[in-house]
Structure 1
Amino acid sequence: MDARAHADQWLAGWEARDLDRVMACYSDDVDFAASTVVTRWNRPDGRLRGKAELRRHFERGMELAPDLRFTEEAFLTNPDGYALLYRRENGNRALDVVELDQHGRAARVRAFYEQDQR
Structure 2
Amino acid sequence: MLTKEIATEFAHDWVDSWNKHDLDRVLDHYTDDFEMTTPLIVSLMNEPSGTLSGKDRVRNYWEKGLEKYPDLHFQIIDVLSSVSSVTIYYTSVLNKKAVEFFLFNEQGKVYKAIAHYD
Letter in 1 for 2:96: N
Unmatched runs of 5 consecutive residues or more in structure 2: none
Match of 2:60 in 1: 56
Letter in 2 for 1:111: A
Runs of 4+ in 1 over 3 A off after TM superposition: none
How far apart in 1 are the matches of 2:33 and 2:7?
A: 19
Cα offsets for 1:13-71 (capped at 9, x unmatched): 11211111111011101011000111111111100001111111111110000100001
Residue 89 of structure 1: CA displacement?
4.6
Higher helix share goes to which structure?
2
For residue 11 of structure 1, give the secondary structure of its aligned residue in structure 2: helix
Match of 2:98 in 1: 94
TM-score when scaled to structure 1? Answer: 0.91
- % of aligned pairs identical? 29
TM-score when scaled to structure 2? Answer: 0.91
Letter in 2 for 1:23: L
Letter in 1 for 2:78: A
Match of 2:80 in 1: 76
How many residues are matched?
114
Match of 1:42 in 2: 46
Unmatched runs of 5 consecutive residues or more in structure 1: none
Q: What is the alpha-carbon root mean square deviation over aligned residues?
A: 1.3
